[in-house]
Amino acid sequence: MSSIRRRSKPSSDAATAAAASAARLPGWRLAAAFVFCVLPWLAAWVGLYRLESAPLAFLLYHTVCFGGGMLLRSPGLPDPERLYAVRRRHLVLVVLAANALALIFYRLVGAALLDRPHIFSFLSERGLGPSTYGILFPYFAFVNPLAEEFFWRGGIYATFRRFFVSPTLATLLGAVFFGGWHWLVFRLFVPPVLALGATLLVMLVGVGLTVLYENTRRLSYAVAVHALAGDTPLLLLLLLLGRG
């Protein structure tokens, strides 16, 4: 298996480099990035709580993602001080581990922690009954990771990365915003403690996807890992839960 390698350009002054990078972008882009970080909360609240429709919530959220991604689209990430080689076999192991952990979680405690009648009843009430799964699963597996990575990594993180001296700060800030709004979704299906834990897990996933994008400089890798190691385990849990 090959690895993805990039040659790092040396930088003697990270702060100067970041300032020069930010100077090439208008200041409104940073303000717009923070505004767009809040809009997913609004999209989820309007779609799920006011309109009581999961399909409309998806539509509103992905409109924010594609619209924000287009508006914030940058010429790329600034030159790093150091990049780490990412081996494809390691990404395959991450995908396999994520799906295996979802299966183990369900077998050990998932059936006890997840209220099957409530979850499927709520999905049906919000317009996602079993008859929609033929559309929902491909949409959630392909469109959702593409929309989210285009927005959160290609737009939000790329903007933060050019304005903040510390890549770590840009990574953590983007991951917190990325994961935070999911709490509005999780709290509708599971107990508060589990909803909080799931939200923190999504933030951690956001950190991993950002690190992957930073070191590969290819959004396609983040999209693929997001789909196979992020969304697919959730669909697997839903299938297992449906079978009882």
Question: What is the per-residue pLDDT across 120-165, written as a single tens digit (0 to 9) for each?
Answer: 999 999 999 988 988 988 998 899 999 999 999 999 999 999 999 8
Q: What span, in angstroms and rounded, lies between the C-alpha atoms of 86 and 6?
A: 10
Mean pLDDT rounded to a whole number for the chain: 89
Q: What is the reported pTM?
A: 0.89
- Judge whether residue 24 has pLDDT over 80: no
Q: Which residue has the tokens 């996807």?
A: 209
Q: What is the mean pLDDT of residues 68-76?
A: 86
**Segment (H or E) for 87:** strand 86-87
Report angle CA 156, 223, 180 to the nearest 5 degrees. 45
Q: pLDDT tier at 9 (50, 70, 90 boundaries)?
A: very low
Q: pLDDT tier at 3 (50, 70, 90 boundaries)?
A: low
Q: What is the mean pLDDT of residues 61-86?
A: 87
Delimit the domains of the chain by residue range. Answer: 19-243
pLDDT: which is higher, 6 or 26:
26
Taking each helix axis from N to C terminus, what angle separates 28-44 and 54-72, rounded to the nearest 10 degrees?
Answer: 170
Report angle CA 147, 153, 159 to the nearest 5 degrees. 120
Please report, for residues 16, 59, 163, 191, 195, the alpha-carbon distance to residue 115 in angstroms, rounded to integers and kept in the order given.
Answer: 53, 27, 44, 9, 13
Q: What is the mean pLDDT of residues 165-175?
A: 94
Q: What span, in angstroms and rounded, lies between the C-alpha atoms of 188 and 236?
A: 19
Which pLDDT belongs to residue 8? 47
Q: Which residues, at least 6 apart from 203, have a Cβ–Cβ distance to it below 8 Å?
A: 175, 176, 178, 179, 180
> For 124-174, what is the HEC assignment?
HHCCCCHHHHHHHHHHHHHHHHHHHHHHHHHHHHHHHHHHCCCHHHHHHHH
Q: pLDDT tier at 106 (50, 70, 90 boundaries)?
A: very high
Which pLDDT belongs to residue 111? 77
Question: What is the per-residue pLDDT across 189-226, written as a single tens digit (0 to 9) for each?
Answer: 999 999 999 999 999 999 999 999 999 999 999 999 99
Least confident of 56-65, 68-77, 189-198, 233-242: 68-77
Task: Give the number of other Cβ atoms within 10 Å of residue 204's Cβ.
Answer: 12
Q: Is 33 exposed, middle or buried (0-12, 13-18, 19+ CB in 10 A)?
A: buried
Distance of CA 28 to the CA centre of its chain: 24
Q: What is the mean pLDDT of residues 63-85?
A: 86
* Tokens linked to 161: 């990365």
